[in-house]
Amino acid sequence: MKNKIALIAGAANEIGQAISIKFAKNGAKLILVDSDSQGLDAVALGSDVAGALLEKVSLDPTDSNSVKAAVAKILEKHGAVDILINNFDHKDGLPISEGTLANWEVSLKENLTPVISFCLNVIPEMQKRQYGRIVTVGSLDYLGVQNRSNYSTAKSALFGLTRSFALETAKDGITVNQVIKGDIKSQADDLSPEAEAKAAGSMPVQRLGKPEDVAFAVAYLAADSSKYVTGQNLIVCGGKSIYSSMSA
Q: Which residues are catalytic?
A: 151
| Residue of 20, 116, 133, 4 whose CA lies nearest to 67 | 116
Dihedral sign (CA 51, 54, 55, 60): negative
| Residue of 48, 47, 4 whose CA lies nearest to 22 | 48
Residue 158 Cα to chain centre, angstroms: 10
- The number of beta carbons lying within 10 Å of the beta carbon of residue 146 is 9
| Residue of 137, 124, 114 whose CA lies nearest to 64 | 114
CA distance 42 to 80: 25
Question: What H or E segment, with its residue span, contains residue 85?
Answer: strand 83-86
Return phi, psi of residue 132, to 5°: 180, 150
Judge contact between 83 and 5, C-beta under 8 A: yes
Spell out the residues 6+ positions from residue 133 whose beta carbon is closer than 8 angstroms to its own: 1, 4, 82, 83, 84, 174, 175, 221, 222, 223, 226
Question: What H or E segment, with its residue span, contains residue 181?
Answer: strand 174-181
Judge contact between 204 and 245, C-beta under 8 A: no
